Amino acid sequence: MDYFLELFLGGLTRGSIYALIALGYTMVYGIIQLINFAHGEIYMIGAFVGLIVAGICTIYGFSGISVLILAAIAAIIWASAYGYTLEKIAYRPLRGAPRLSPLISAIGMSIFLQNYVLLAQTSDFLPFPNLIPDFEFMEPVAYFIGSPELVILVTTFVTMILLTLLIKKTKVGKAMRATQQDMSMARLVGINVDRIISLTFVIGSALAAIGGVLVASYIGQVNFYIGFLAGVKAFTAAVLGGIGSIPGAVLGGLVLGWTESFAAGYVSSDYEDVFAFGLLVLILILRPAGILGKARKQKV
Amino acid sequence: MAEKHKLLEVKGLTMDFGGLRAVDSVSLEVHEGEIAALIGPNGAGKTTFFNCVTGIYNPTKGDILLHPKGLPTRRLNGLKPNKVTEMGLARTFQNIRLFSDMTVLENVMIGRHCRTSAGIFRSIIRDKGVRKEEQEIVETSYQLLKKVGLAESANEFAKNLPYGAQRRLEIARAMATEPFLLLLDEPAAGMNPQETGDLDQLICKISEEEQIAILLIEHDMKLVMNISNPIYVMEYGKKIAEGSPQQIKDHPKVIEAYLGEETDA
Amino acid sequence: MKKITVLLTSVVLSFGLATAGFAADTIKLGVAGPHSGDLAPYGIPAMRAAQLVVKKINAAGGVLGKQVELLIQDDQCKPEMATNAATKLVTDGADVVLGHICSGATKAALGIYKDAKIPVMSPSATNPPLTQSGDYPNFFRTIASDDMQARLAINFTINDLGKKKIAVLHDKGDYGKGFAEFAKQFIEDSGKAEVVLFEGVTPGAMDYSSIIQKVRRENADALIWGGYHPEASKIVSQMKRKRMKAVFVSDDGVKDDSFLKVAGEAAEGAYMTGPRDLSKNELNKAAYEEFKAEYGTDPGAFYQEGYSAALALLNAIEQAGGTDYDKVVEALHTKYVETPVGDIKFDSKGDAEGVGFSVYVVENGAFKELK
Amino acid sequence: MMKDFKQSILVSIWFVFLTFPLMAVRVNTTEQVVEWRWMSMVWVAIATFSLSYAWRYLLARKQAKKNEEDISHGKLQLLMEDMGFRYKAMGLLLLLALIFPLVFDTYQNTIMISALIYVVLGLGLNISVGLAGLLDLGYVAFFAVGAYSYALLNHHFGIGFWSILPVGGIFGCLFGVILGFPILRLRGDYLAIVTLGFGMIIKVVLENWSDFTFGPSGIANIDKPGLFGMDMNIDSSTTYIYYIMIALVVFTILITNRLKNSRIGRAWIALREDEIACVAMGIDMARTKLSAYALGAFWAGMVGVLFAAKTTFINPASFTFMESAIILSIVVLGGMGSILGVILGAFILILLPEYLRAFSEYRMLAFGAAMVLMMIFRPQGIISNIRTKYEYKKLTEETEHG
């Protein structure tokens, strides 16, 4: 039973990170029906900016959780800026183009950003300073859940509550939901659709940046390539849960996290990825709209 | 005059989307040689009805029966759209769906797909039969373009055609599948009176010369009144009236539905 | 149209450049390895080593009175690019080749050199079959093969540390999985310990917590890792976090300063094998100083091995009195040469005699050689 | 004028801000050093300032072109549409291709073989992506299937190259059908992610299933293609493979061209344009998609065999997502659906980096940027699809008279 619980918690931690990144995919897809392939790269850029800030701080002798918060804030600012610019350059000129065009543009952007960071920084793995202290009160349970896991779980939980509030309660959130329902209608009632789309990218990128910094401080290293696999997995999570649906992204992230964790724990980690993608294919065949997604009838 | 052959018979068709009932037990018949019409205000469920008949949606309840002449009756429920088309039922779309990066001629040639047979291997070898079939496709398609008055623009991209011409191209493309029943979804939408008049004539011509029965959805009552009989009226997913143009004109519910809409607009 | 013309001209020009430039009578030393791309850090030190050796030898009058010319080719560690690079070297008339770096690339290229009768010496390709299969009589290396590393690691784990239940993990890569498979085989052969877990993990995955839990569930008292340092750091960090007592034993791919920095405290007490510490070797010291003087930094991976290979190859030509293939190979097998990795010659299969591994332990944030 | 200037200034300020942490600072947390690179900020400012002018100019031009409608044919395009010129050009190219190995050395031949391999891969992917509009991000999986079928059959049973060449293609095709069957119901973007997943699964299987695939250490000593049992040295066997490759390319071009201009080819294009209209016109969507997917896979499988024979060694590392991305950019840059464009695309993308080795670090960066820019400014690619002209007037007259 202990073993099960350990795997469950491991999957929960991993899944909550997937969920954070998946939210960005799902929100963007909900509004402009585009797989923002470069989203994983935004996550990586977030982690890298966090590393740079945290690195400078530790080199100049600062440390502790306040540095982590500072790094996270910087990561959010820059990742959002990248997300915003990404949309403006690579997707906005392609609105109304055939569906394949923005998708290819997104893949191109993903390759570009990866190599941009590779060239501007380094191909090596850089250590991320250990900024999360071992909390005293965690000591009795450190056996299966450590302080970093706790920080990840609490942060993602709080972030998701804030996001839900933003979408459900504020005017901006209403405008976002309206745009998601029907873009031309939203435009008619005076919503600045372009701004809402930009905002969606900014919010999605900020979430990815939080995920990036959390993961970086959890596993303690960053390089230019971490965005690819994380992005693919998070997108898988978004599709699993039902792309376009916010609770779906969270659920999808957790389901994927648990699948991988249990598969590795009870079967074999050799085929971890095979399980993840196998699950995706299975879900898409049985329930093409995902677990929580609504079948969206195309208007004929 | 003897009883005309019944081509399409829809009985109690119902379509739900989640909790919303878009079409509520609608029945309808189209006979040989008829130009039937389905009218109603916006959002009455006409297009949904069409989509059910042509296989794009699978209806929740009801029967869609096709009685091709000289062949056994077929139930269309749940059949894939391409099977429905193969059976002899072709359609156009309300918001034009042409293959915009293909030429006008190629658009019509696509319609010939289900009436021709060259597979992958024969397409590679390109034997005599295939070459002949290709010729036949081009030939027939060109004739159809002539019929709808688009022969001149055969080599233009479909997306570059003027609006009215695009509508006519859709009709030509549908006719290339050799249907015995043609479903037209708001063919006159967005046309000026001159173009609408031409379209009137085209539809009548198709009906007479090609022996194709027609079921059309129309929003504009005037067009329908001139050429169709019988007329079915839908509102809020339900059929509220059916009959000849005269009967429809005087039907109190129809007047109500349309007057109500008139004040809305 | 204009753009196309420019393009064509540049293509034609580069053809011209590529084919031109056969110099006078020199000895041509080919150098192939990853000089760009993500694996470049493993290839560039050996390339620089060759450059330094050649510079020094040429300044001293060359080999047999001839100047040595370097032919450098990038293979990015990709098999298909390695064959291109090899063909290029053969075409350009290389007499001997220093390379390649990655085992896969080496394997792909060796056939080409074999057909062209060119001796090849790798400073880093540790895959055992390269020499043991006997397929490549023209292949030599200045580094010990993976099975030697694995044997040493296992002997140490079982005999010196006395561990009984061993979990073996690897990164599914050529190097890591090869090491892990040998480790597994040696454990089973020894009869003194058992393999309780043998699995691969996905490099770049977010975390390895499930697999670490699994290692604990199996009550393993030692974890053998076949692979490189980024994953190793994640694994030791998570082991520490889970308060695990199992010892961590790994290979040369982990003996890297990044491992110490990334894993930090968690790295303490980890064991790994690595080439014998040569800091007392005079030639090695000199080679190190040369590099430091030229580039101002530490040399990086496979520098000594590259330096040694360049020396060994050129020495063999000197001994053989020419570049004749059979004579050069003969000289490599029979004549000892002093290099930064020791006084070496090559056995009948092409492995260097006198090159060995040691076990290191991480102590106070540094690697310490044990024996 | 002033407005433009102001805007460009704003753009460059924004980019200086944006790139600041990644371009101006380099923290090496291993060595505990911070490196400040202020000069790079100046470069970013200058570059983005001028690029923003170019960007606006190009966008405006694109807009203007849209209004003018369809006069977008450049000179090159018109030239290519002239049948007479095309035949002459093709003849000349073929001649050049045939004498190439006589003029250039083995190294040049090897490079050219690589490029030709990518030509076939590009043409294969062009069927599913360019013609049928099915974005396949795991295309390299079929390439791997072909390469491994030859490597394994050759290793275990010593079967020769020529017998496996068609078998590899058929295996690729079979895999296409098996993988395609469950997933082709999916809409475009789902398809992309699932194919990406398949690409990764194949690699994982190749790495893990050691008993069958020899795992990550790969398979060595694969036989080169034989010619009546002749013993060939490296030069002549490279030349031989080169000619095999030329023949394969010509074969591919012939067949894909025929398919493109057939009933099936038209159905693919229609499917790309509008799925719903396509099925409403009586085209069986699943079957049409499957045929495009499987035929695309066929070429990858076939050329995979040749790849294995050429390198004589394969391991899973050659079949990564990046390979799929490169093949995709060949198709996109060359011109989706255009055979000529794809060929040109392959040559540019493979040969250029090979000859400009000094810039090879920037290769992927340039690929990525080019994919984005192409989609925005020239979605039809370098050479857009050449339209088939159908002869109908004469026929019509004949039937009317006869």
Residue A155 has pLDDT above 60, yes or no: yes
Residue C5 has pLDDT above 60, yes or no: no
In a domain, B240, yes or no: yes
Tokens of D14: 């924004």
Residue C13 has pLDDT above 50, yes or no: no
Of B106-120, B209-223, C43-57, minimum mean pLDDT range: B209-223
- Supply the pLDDT for residue D135: 87
pTM: 0.86
Q: What number is the average pLDDT over the span B12-25?
A: 87
User: For chain B, how many structural domains are there in total?
Assistant: 2
Interval C118-131: pLDDT, tens: 999 999 888 888 88
Which domains does chain C show, CATH number per domain?
A: 24-143+280-353 (3.40.50.2300), 147-269 (3.40.50.2300)
Of the residues B123, B152, B177, the one at which a domain ends = B177
Above pLDDT 90, what percent of chain D? Answer: 27
Give residue for tokens 């899973």: D316
In a domain, B94, yes or no: no
Of A228-232, B145-149, D104-108, D294-298, minimum mean pLDDT range: D104-108
Q: How many whole angstroms separate alpha carbon C309 and alpha carbon C289?
A: 18
- What's the complex ipTM? 0.83
Give the chains touching A; criterion: ≥3 Cβ pairs < 8 Å.
B, C, D
Interchain pair A125, C241: CB under 8 A? no
Residue B139's Cα: distance from chain center in Å?
A: 23
Same structural domain, B6 and B115: no
Interval B235-254: pLDDT, tens: 888 888 888 888 888 888 88
Interval A114-139: pLDDT, tens: 999 988 888 778 888 888 877 777 77
Above pLDDT 90, what percent of chain A? Answer: 36
Interval D77-129: pLDDT, tens: 666 667 777 788 888 888 888 888 888 877 788 889 999 999 999 999 999 99
Interchain pair C213, A220: CB under 8 A? no
CATH code, D104-377: 1.10.3470
Q: Which band of pLDDT confidence, cut at 50, 70 and 90, is reported for residue D401?
A: very low
Distances (CA, A) of B251 to B240, B244, B248, C239: 9, 11, 5, 82
Residue D187 has pLDDT above 80, yes or no: no
- Supply the pLDDT for residue B3: 67
Chains C and A lie in contact, requiring 3 or more CB pairs less than 8 Å apart: yes
Q: What is the DSSP string of C12-74?
A: HHHHHHHH----SS-EEEEEEE--SSTTHHHHHHHHHHHHHHHHHHHHTT-BTTBPEEEEEEE
- Supply the pLDDT for residue C371: 65
Structural domain boundaries of chain D?
2-68, 104-377
Interval B213-225: pLDDT, tens: 999 888 777 778 8
For D305, other C-beta atoms within 10 Å of its C-beta total 32
Region label for C150, one of left (φ > 0), alpha (ψ between -120 and 50) or beta (otherwise) = alpha
Residue C114 has pLDDT above 50, yes or no: yes
Same structural domain, B53 and B152: no
Contact assessment for residue D225 and residue D161, using Cβ atoms and an 8 Å cutoff: yes
Average pLDDT, chain A: 87
DSSP state of C126: -
Of the residues B149, B177, B205, the one at which a domain ends = B177
- Supply the pLDDT for residue D73: 55
Range of the domain at B122: 101-177
A241, amino acid identity: G
The residue that leads in pLDDT, B53 or D188, is B53
Residue A223 has pLDDT above 70, yes or no: yes
Indicate the residue of C80, C172, C258 with minimum beta-carbon distance to D207. C172
Q: How many whole angstroms separate alpha carbon A260 and alpha carbon B225?
A: 64
The residue that leads in pLDDT, A80 or D360, is A80
Q: What number is the average pLDDT over the span A197-201?
A: 93
Interchain pair A294, B18: CB under 8 A? yes
Residue A12 has pLDDT above 60, yes or no: yes
Interval A176-185: pLDDT, tens: 888 888 888 8
DSSP state of D315: -
Stretch 68-97 of chain C: residues touching chain D, C-beta under 8 Å: 74, 76-80, 83-84, 87-88, 90-92
Q: What number is the average pLDDT over the span D319-331?
A: 89
The residue that leads in pLDDT, B174 or D1, is B174
Residue A143 has pLDDT above 80, yes or no: no
C34 touches D: beta carbon within 8 Å: no
Q: What number is the average pLDDT over the span A136-144?
A: 71
- Supply the pLDDT for residue D393: 59
Contact assessment for residue D305 and residue D348, using Cβ atoms and an 8 Å cutoff: no
Interchain pair B47, A300: CB under 8 A? yes
From chain A, the residues in CB contact with B17 under 8 A are 297
Residue D115's Cα: distance from chain center in Å?
A: 11
- Supply the pLDDT for residue B235: 87
From chain A, the residues in CB contact with B94 under 8 A are 300
Same structural domain, B5 and B84: yes
Interchain pair D281, B114: CB under 8 A? yes
Interchain pair C178, D217: CB under 8 A? yes
- Supply the pLDDT for residue A250: 92
Q: What number is the average pLDDT over the span B97-118?
A: 89
Above pLDDT 90, what percent of chain C? Answer: 31
Same structural domain, B70 and B192: yes
Of A281-295, B94-108, C13-27, C317-331, minimum mean pLDDT range: C13-27
Closest CA to A23 of A8, A11, A39, A47: A39
In a domain, B226, yes or no: yes
Structural domain boundaries of chain A?
14-286
Interchain pair A288, D186: CB under 8 A? yes
Same structural domain, B173 and B220: no
Alpha helices of D73-187 — where are they, by DSSP H?
75-81, 83-103, 106-125, 140-157, 161-183
A99 touches B: beta carbon within 8 Å: no
- Supply the pLDDT for residue D74: 63
Stretch 178-217 of chain B: residues touching chain D, C-beta under 8 Å: none
Average pLDDT, chain C: 85
Interval D206-237: pLDDT, tens: 988 888 888 888 888 888 887 776 667 777 88
Above pLDDT 70, what percent of chain D? Answer: 90
CATH entry, A14-286, from 2.40.10, 1.10.3470, 1.10.20, 1.10.30: 1.10.3470
- Supply the pLDDT for residue D357: 65
Interchain pair D207, C108: CB under 8 A? no
Average pLDDT, chain D: 85
- Supply the pLDDT for residue B225: 83
Residue A296 has pLDDT above 60, yes or no: no
In a domain, B95, yes or no: no
Torsion of CA A6, A8, A10, A15, to 10 degrees: -170
Q: What number is the average pLDDT over the span A167-182?
A: 88
